[in-house]
A and B are shown apart, each in its own frame.
Chain A
Amino acid sequence: MRGIAERMLPVLAPPLMLAGCTGWQSALDVHGASAINLKHLIILIVTVCSIVWALVMIALIAALWHHRDRRELAVSLDPRRERRMTITVAAAVAATVVIISVFTVLSFFTTRALSLAGNDDLTIKVRGLQWWWGVEYFGSAPDQRFETANEIHIPVGRNVRLQLEGIDVIHSFWAPSLAGKQDLVPGRPNELMIRAERAGTYRGQCAEFCGLQHAHMAFFVVAEEQPIFDEWVRLQRQNAATSSDAEVTAGQQVFLSKQCAACHAIRGTSASGTTGPDLTHIGSRKYIAAGLFETTRGSLAAWIADPQTLKPGNNMPMVPLNPEELRSISAYLASLK
């Protein structure tokens, strides 16, 4: 029985490992125009290189085998054999040069196509901060501008230009299913064109070590059909929801009177801080704290109660709140759909 399992292991292991190639954050599970191009390039190069490697190995084994039982003197040269060997080596060198040249030209054209992905239909500003992402949408008028965090909604099949800006240190924007990496360098605006071919949620994360919580700096690109996207934009442009619920109103009072409002903005209230993420519609976002938890009232409360234990070193301070205040403030934030 154990023998069978042992024999099956080499057969089962590769498919199991390949299962890790799919998912919402994989350069091999592609849903964006530039990621598809890159995947084709990767597969072509890996295939050709594998074939070359196999041929070299076969030639090496053949050479070793061939020479096993012949003990000729090196001086006894056979002219015909020498000529044959010269041709073989020359052909191998020529093949190497050709293959590498083709790879170079292909890489050049593939990467050039990434930066010239046509005109953009939408421009979004993405700021990288320790350790979250600020996302800013524009409109035809200043009052149509709005901010959100860690969640980028885009329409399917449209070219979206991301203006990337590093605020404190160098970060790198990487959503493997959609596009390659692009760095966010302080003082040097960068751009990246993305285009989702299929609707879905794609995870990305910072790909440049940026400090203590680099590993907890994720973001989500949500690709939606145009009408759903338009509706989302319409809702995001609105001010924060108001409620007559007593607990929610109390939570708003606590939020505005405590330290929260100094760093966070909630449009429609007096909270207008810019240091932390905009919380106007935090209840509608899927995750909080750059992908650390799903947004629930419980996770919001846990985060507010002790952010330095959940994500040590982040810039959210521990604000002293009593249990009553914590309960109402989490109810308020969860209500901000």
Chain B
Amino acid sequence: MRISLVFLSVAVATAGCQREERQLRLDPPVAAALDNIALMPNGISGAPPEAYFALDKPYESNAYNLNQGKRLYSWFGCKACHADGQGGIGPAFLDGWWNYGPEMVSVFASIRDGRPHGMPAFRDKMTTEQIWQLAGYVRTIGAYSAKTAAPSRNDAKHTRPSENRAPAALLFDQGPTPVHPDQGPTP
């Protein structure tokens, strides 16, 4: 009886060693499959490929991927137009108002193919995996609900609530009346 108790407590304790897995190498066929998103004709919303669900939505819930996305955000100059999420030349992310809807596929498509009025296409600058990572990170900036996974904190002074503190209700802005009523939920 006592022995089994010891075994049980050891088993429970070792469960704490379980660590989030980092997928460092994405197999090329999987990467190619992840590129095949189905977008609605108006470029808003759609469905991610089967592979995305088979991998268990790694770009939304995996802290390593979110953190890589955060690095890509500064490496690829997103700050030049979107600042730290407050917007500038480009739209803000913090206000929770997504011009093309809040779905991952919409954000992925915006980065990969670009959008009218200045958003450049990053198809030839980033790999599919990087675009997914960046899209995942961008969505945490203006997320409607807090996540358990978060990228690491800024080394510099924070200019806004950190990514896992969403929703930043004070900063949310309903924005203009939606042109398309199918643009997704509001906070």
Residues of A within 8 A of B (CB): 186-187, 212, 257-259, 261-263, 275, 306, 308-309, 312-313, 315, 317-320
Determine the distance from Cα of A187 to Cα of B155 in the docked complex, in whole angstroms: 9
Closest Cβ of chain B to A280, distance in Å, is 20
- Whether A186 lies near B155 (C-beta < 8 A) is yes
Which A residues are CB-close (under 8 A) to B174? none
Cα(A258)–Cα(B129), bound, Å: 15
Give A11 Cβ to nearest chain B Cβ, in Å: 47
Name the B residues within 8 Å of A275 (CB-CB). Answer: 75
* Residues on the A chain within 8 Å of B130, using CB: 317
Q: Is the CB of B126 within 8 A of A259?
A: yes
- Bound-state CA distance A320–B131 (Å) is 14
The answer for the CA separation of A187 and B125 in the assembled complex, in Å, is 29
- Cα–Cα, bound, A261→B124 (Å): 9
**B contact residues vs A (CB 8 Å cutoff):** 22, 24-26, 28, 31-32, 71, 75-76, 124-127, 129-130, 155
- Cross-chain contact A313 with B24 (CB below 8 angstroms): yes
B73 CB to nearest chain A CB (Å): 12
Contact among B24, B32, B71, B75 for A308, CB-based, below 8 A: B24
Query: Is A320 in contact with B28, judged by CB distance below 8 angstroms?
Result: yes
Q: Residue B127 contacts which of A186, A306, A319 (CB distance < 8 angstroms)?
A: A319
**B129 near A317 (CB under 8 angstroms)?**
yes
Complex Cα spacing A318 to B26, Å: 8
Is A313 a contact partner of B22 (Cβ separation < 8 A)?
yes
- Tell me which residues across on chain B come within 8 A of A259, comparing CB atoms: 124-127
**Please, which residue of chain A has its CB at the minimum distance from the CB of B74?**
A275
Q: Least Cβ distance of B128 to chain A in Å?
A: 8
Complex: chain A residue closest to B130, CB-CB = A317
Give the docked Cα–Cα distance between A320 and B130 (Å). 13
